[in-house]
Every structure is written in structure tokens, then in C-alpha cells.
């Protein structure tokens, strides 16, 4: 990642934090873009510009970072609605449909996003795409039990799929102890149809298609920051 791209991600994330107001419950996203938002919230709390913020972390990594920054956190049972969640995306199409899950936190990310009144997506302009699947594989979270049958099912839908691995060659496990199958479908003609097929399959825990969920998209590019409004 270039220094310029990192700067763009930080600009988008910090712009998104402007949606956060004192007294809110805030979903804290996972990944290289969302972490800038979490750090900005921590800074504003420390400076006294924000007060009475409670976060809900979308991954253990984000949970650890938030605690270091002094951001109070809700318990994992999520006992109350979320006012706004700020998170990144791997790919964004013109309808604001998303592919997420590059960091392996898609299940918790989707749970928190669906519990949120406002879901703000932050990204640099490289994440924009005419069709999902053009530039990024679709992560699918599956139970470890019978995972090869899910691999075969995904291949029957036209995907080139492989189990995600750590750098040492061991299988990557999500925070919930599941596997990720990264699926190359190529450009996805009908994300809704694919999501329905994946959602109906026993053993598939969740998939990285986030459809009709983003309310706002903050894009940072060479021409500045754009705020796009979704549904």
C-alpha cells in the first residue's frame, strides 16, 4: 500500500467520524481503513470533544485497539441498537452493494451493520467497481465440519474457490472459529441471486456480499473527498 493510498484512507475515515455525536453507540469496523476512524474517535474522547460514546467492536483486533484507546465497549451480546457504524469495504459497486471480508471479520461486521441505524462505508477510490467480483474475490465463511462439500458447492456455482491460509500455511480461522473460502466468481452479474443461493446452503455461516446496507459512502480520491448517499 502506497503512502498516498494510506493518506486517502485516513482522510475518508476521519471524515466519516463527523457523523459521530456524543452519547452514541458506535460500531467500530475492522481493517486498514476503519482503524483510522477508531483512532480518531479515541482521540476525540481523550480531548473531550466527544463524550459518553460506547463502541461495539466488529473483531477481536478492533476490540484490542479500542481498549488501548480508552473507548468504552458494549458487551458482545449487543444489548442495544447501534446509532452508526463506520467500516471499510473491499469493493463497492454503483448501487452501493459491497464485498467485505478481506480481513476475515465479515460475520461480526454484518451483524453490527444490520443492527445500525446508519452504516457509513469508508474507502479510497480504488475500491469502486462497475461490478462486484471484478477486482476482489468473495469471502465465504463456512463451518470447518464438511467444509470441502461447501467448496464443491461454490465451484458448482461457477467459483474458483480456495481455503484461506495464514502466512505459515495453516488454515485461517475467524473469531468464531470458522474457515474462509475465497471465491473468484469474476464479475457477479446478479449479486442478489448469488446471495440467496449462498444464504440457503447449510454449512455456509455468512458471505461477504453486503447488499442494500450502506447508507453513506465516503470516498477519498485525487479530487478530494466525496460523500455519496445510499438508500
β pairing state of 209-210 and 98-99: antiparallel
User: Could you say which DSSP state residue 190 is in?
Assistant: -
Retrieve residue 9's grid coordinates: 484512507
Please, are residues 173 and 179 in contact by the beta-carbon 8 Å criterion? yes
Please, are residues 41 and 70 in contact by the beta-carbon 8 Å criterion? no
Which residues lie across from 28 on neighbouring strands? 57, 86
109 catalytic? Reply is yes
- Tell me what percent of the chain is helix, strand and coil, each rounded to the nearest 5: 30, 30, 40
CA nearest to 106, candidates 162, 181, 14 = 181
- Residues 6 or more apart whose Cβ sits within 8 Å of residue 12: 33, 122, 123, 124, 218, 219, 220, 225
Catalytic residue among 109, 125, 155, 162: 109
Retrieve residue 146's grid coordinates: 464438511
Q: Which residues are catalytic?
A: 109
Amino acid at each position: 500500500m502506497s503512502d498516498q493510498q494510506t493518506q486517502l484512507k485516513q482522510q475518508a475515515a476521519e471524515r466519516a467520524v463527523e457523523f459521530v455525536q456524543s452519547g452514541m453507540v458506535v460500531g467500530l469496523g475492522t481493517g486498514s481503513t476503519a482503524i483510522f476512524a477508531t483512532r480518531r474517535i479515541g482521540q476525540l474522547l481523550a480531548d473531550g470533544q466527544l463524550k459518553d460514546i460506547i463502541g461495539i467492536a466488529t473483531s477481536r483486533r478492533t476490540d484490542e485497539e479500542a481498549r488501548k484507546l480508552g473507548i468504552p465497549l458494549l458487551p458482545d451480546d449487543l444489548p442495544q441498537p447501534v446509532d452508526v457504524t463506520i467500516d471499510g469495504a473491499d469493493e463497492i459497486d454503483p448501487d452501493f452493494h459491497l464485498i467485505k471480508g478481506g480481513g476475515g471479520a465479515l460475520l461480526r461486521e454484518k451483524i453490527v451493520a444490520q443492527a445500525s441505524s446508519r452504516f457509513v462505508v469508508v474507502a479510497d477510490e480504488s475500491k469502486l467497481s462497475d461490478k462486484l467480483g471484478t477486482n476482489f474475490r468473495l469471502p465465504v465463511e463456512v463451518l470447518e465440519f464438511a467444509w470441502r462439500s461447501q467448496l464443491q458447492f461454490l465451484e458448482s456455482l461457477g467459483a474458483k474457490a480456495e481455503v484461506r491460509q495464514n502466512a505459515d500455511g495453516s488454515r485461517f480461522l475467524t473469531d468464531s472459529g470458522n474457515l474462509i473460502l475465497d471465491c473468484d466468481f469474476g464479475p457477479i452479474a446478479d449479486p442478489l441471486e448469488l446471495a440467496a443461493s449462498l444464504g440457503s446452503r447449510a454449512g455456509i455461516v455468512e458471505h461477504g456480499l453486503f447488499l442494500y446496507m450502506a447508507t453513506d459512502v465516503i470516498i477519498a480520491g485525487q479530487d478530494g473527498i466525496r460523500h455519496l448517499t445510499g438508500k
